[in-house]
Amino acid sequence: MSNTRIFFPSQPILPVEKSGFRQGVQNRQNTSAGGSSFAELLDSASKKVSFSNHAIQRLESRQLDFSEQDLQKLDETVDKMAQKGARESLIYMNDMALVVSVTNRTVITAMDGKSAKENIFTNIDSAAIL
């Protein structure tokens, strides 16, 4: 005969107090420890520019880095371009050329200034030089 019961001797089962659990859930009201709601956190995360896998590989292979200020400036520039109706843009900043999908808020590819001088950029409808 086989025994179908599962027994975990190192993990005791303790009773759950219903009143404490419900009270804790009601007091939180969908806020995090910082006081921001999930919707606010999601909205702020969706406003940041992301990098495609291809762009990340290019940045690593060419040893290009962004400071926190650079990323903030990039976010602001993409916001301005979106307001003007840009879709695919070339952003030149800190001796780096970035091809950005403004509608998706994603950096498609990146290159240093030397590589950018030797290339022709197609399928862009706008450019920003910072």
The answer to whether residue 22 is domain-embedded is no
Distance CA(30)–CA(49), nearest Å, equals 26
Structural domain of 76:
48-129
The fraction of the chain above a pLDDT of 90, given in percent, is: 38
Distance CA(82)–CA(102), nearest Å, equals 6
- Token representation of residue 65: 């880095």
Distance CA(29)–CA(56), nearest Å, equals 38
The answer to whether residue 37 is domain-embedded is no
Q: What's the predicted TM-score (pTM) here? A: 0.65
Strand ranges inside 14-87, DSSP E:
50-51
pLDDT, averaged across the chain: 78
The answer to whether residue 104 is domain-embedded is yes
Instruction: Please report which helix (H) or strand (E) contains residue 117, including its range.
Output: helix 113-117
Q: Which residues contact 46 (CB under 8 A, 6 or more apart)?
A: 105
Contact yes or no for 36/28 (Cβ under 8 A): no
Contact yes or no for 54/111 (Cβ under 8 A): no
pLDDT of residue 24: 44
The answer to whether residue 79 is domain-embedded is yes
Q: 26-30, 62-66, 107-111: lowest mean pLDDT where? A: 26-30
The answer to whether residue 98 is domain-embedded is yes
The residue type at 63? Q
For 91, counting Cβ atoms within 10 Å of its Cβ (0-12 exposed, 13-18 middle, 19+ buried), the class is buried
Mean pLDDT of 71-77: 92
pLDDT of residue 5: 63
The answer to whether residue 19 is domain-embedded is no
